[in-house]
Structure 1
């Protein structure tokens, strides 16, 4: 199968970024061989990753540092280089990287599902899929949101790159500003950015699109990954971190007010707005294998990656740590029979 221009751009970007970080990472970090010392974990300030953000200070006997990044791709590169030991990132980012290189980490817990949200600019007249033809639509290229937009349009006879003008921006904040200014007609984002746009009066939900946004793709979005060498050399520390993460997920499932109050400590915002956004989100730590299997196949079918990496992606699902933390079996957590 020949690589599409999009696949080539994605592969070249990942390789270039990986080379940069690999050249600057110190040898101890790259090897991950230390059995003591600090642990660096990565995240992007997304509301669905709130439990992951508040995990570090709850880990018993291990000093864990939370390191912010702008995107899942940045976390992927940092994990690959060894500059961090664990991180939350999209399954689609790993599926794409596996088409051309190894990913030296395993997913040890789930982090989000059903998290993409479509919004139209107020007054744009967008009420359904057919109204997207000829419009400027924004997302972060390579993100789960981008894939859901791409597949959703394809399911309805539209090509994102031919029938609309795709606008790729670096961050969800940039997308909100573009929608507010009228630079784009619609976007696909995640919380709390969606509620910020709606409450700000410039973004409106489109139920007919939202209800079918995952058609032809996958609902699962992201997981918590740990480097293989970190798992091998410090498995007890990995377990402590996953235990604390699971406890945070359980806490937030029972108290979303606490989730909102804690999140604004890591990402500035109005707790009332954050609390409203949480009406659309629940903590997620499972790893639905059937959903994960759809990720790479979807990307390959659309020409976003040159080959289907499903087997390699599924091989990186490690249920041992979250099973021990939750007291559930791997099958109860989503592992296929």
Structure 2
């Protein structure tokens, strides 16, 4: 009888320890309808394979996703490479960058038949911007790098979404829109816009970085194994999208409610890559403080808000290979 009891007890312990029967972890993922981030719509399916249930929470702006992550309302999200610096400047230390997303996505657009071939020509143009966006950051940094004074440019502040930039461009209120996809793609496909020769993604200060994947610090410290599984799943998601760009475009088209040709143009120049260039992020932080976007310089402490531990384990690469000194 004792033998039977021992066998039953052993079986119960084995069942309780079984990964297949273990209770899954439930988290919330912040999400935005941005072309470069659309592969992240696949993250819940990939994470589910590792026992993680994800509830997706949609946001209209990176700033809103940043606030939710900092407060712990969500546990993971992707947002601009400037967002952790902005949060840190305001005293929020609860966000940690764990992976990069890639380059591209931000774009400049002029009216079809027009062009801006070099930075000197910018001085005579009316420029539509949205201060604080990563596209604006790349543009403002490029302006300084090329010997122009930003405060002497003909800046037109555009309020609201990217469609307002296109209306201003069509209405000849501006000559250049400093914007992002899918809005550039819409202008191209609809036949009234063109990409200028000028490219602000080549900024030496900012680089072409689109976004970073970040987690809530208290959640990470309490659940490092879960964060590792999430980063593993994330690397798998990037690989899926890189290998099948048609699927990537279709996902974005469906989620954003856009024609597939607009979605395809939106992702055409985006390069997905998990590398996190820390030196570029430090330069972004310094630029933000130097230009009054944040009240103090956080470039000397920003490294504490990024970790390569999870990404290194997920990829088998060293922190140096993953952007520690880039």
Q: What TM-score, normalized to structure 1? A: 0.81
**In 2: Cα distance, 1:213 partner to 1:169 partner:** 26
Paired residues, number: 302
Give the aligned partner of residue 47 of structure 1.
35
Stretch deviating more after TM superposition (299-308 or 84-93) = 299-308
Give the aligned partner of residue 7 of structure 1.
none
Deviation at 1:250, TM superposition (A): 0.7
Give the aligned partner of residue 216 of structure 2.
227
**In 1: Cα distance, 2:309 partner to 2:268 partner:** 31
Stretch deviating more after TM superposition (187-196 or 77-86) = 187-196
Residues 1:270 and 2:259 aligned together: yes
Residues 1:261 and 2:213 aligned together: no
Give the aligned partner of residue 111 of structure 1.
101
**In 2: Cα distance, 1:152 partner to 1:184 partner:** 19
Give the aligned partner of residue 167 of structure 2.
177
Can you give the 5+ residue segments of structure 2 that lack an aligned partner in the other structure?
Answer: 1-22
Give the aligned partner of residue 305 of structure 1.
294
Deviation at 1:144, TM superposition (A): 0.9
Alignment of 1:198-237 (within 5 A): 198-207=188-197, 209-210=198-199, 213-237=202-226
Does the 8 A contact of 1:80 with 1:104 survive in 2?
yes
Give the aligned partner of residue 282 of structure 1.
271
**In 1: Cα distance, 2:166 partner to 2:234 partner:** 30
**In 2: Cα distance, 1:202 partner to 1:269 partner:** 18
Alignment of 1:1-337 (within 5 A): 38-60=26-48, 61-122=51-112, 126-133=116-123, 135-207=125-197, 209-210=198-199, 213-336=202-325
Can you give the 5+ residue segments of structure 1 that lack an aligned partner in the other structure?
Answer: 1-34
Structure 1: 4+ residue segments shifted above 6 A? none
Q: 1:91 aligns to what SS in structure 2?
A: coil
Deviation at 1:162, TM superposition (A): 3.2
Deviation at 1:126, TM superposition (A): 4.2
- Aligned-residue Cα RMSD (Å) equals 2.4
**In 2: Cα distance, 1:321 partner to 1:169 partner:** 38
Give the aligned partner of residue 9 of structure 2.
none
Q: What TM-score, normalized to structure 2? A: 0.84
Flag the 1:76–1:271 CA change in 2: closer, same or farther, 3 A.
same
